[in-house]
Amino acid sequence: MNTNTHTLIEPLVIKTKETGEEISRVDSITFRPLKGGDLLTAMDTSAGKPGSYLRDLIARSTTLSHAQVDNMCSEDIGECIERVQAFLPRGLTTGDLA
């Protein structure tokens, strides 16, 4: 098993507005190590807002959109934050969650 893969507690599901038919489902996500540009862009675009910074880092490390990150349950987002923090250089962290 790839340690950079997380199985979602609550899968992300996209349904049609008209019928409610499921058209896309994400059951697990794989994290790729962040590049320098990912970190710098996330810092620039978040403008000192920790939530925006974390959302951007998670989206950049996975194939998820910001909207998909926003729709994760709290347990899944907490796990994503832990995974993304592991890629950050020593001394550059996202801070405590509590």
Q: Report pLDDT digits (tens) over 4-17.
A: 899 999 999 988 88
In the chain, which stretches have pLDDT less than 50?
A: 1, 97-98
- How confident is the model at residue 72, as a pLDDT? 96
- How confident is the model at residue 92, as a pLDDT? 57
The 3-state secondary structure of the chain, one letter per residue? CCCCEEEEEEEEEEECCCCCCEEEEEEEEECCCCCHHHHHHHHHHHCCCHHHHHHHHHHHHCCCCHHHHHCCCHHHHHHHHHHHHCCCCCCCCCCCCC
Which residues have CB under 8 Å from 94's CB, separation 6+?
Answer: 50, 53, 54, 57, 81, 84, 85, 88
- How confident is the model at residue 1, as a pLDDT? 42
- How confident is the model at residue 61, as a pLDDT? 94
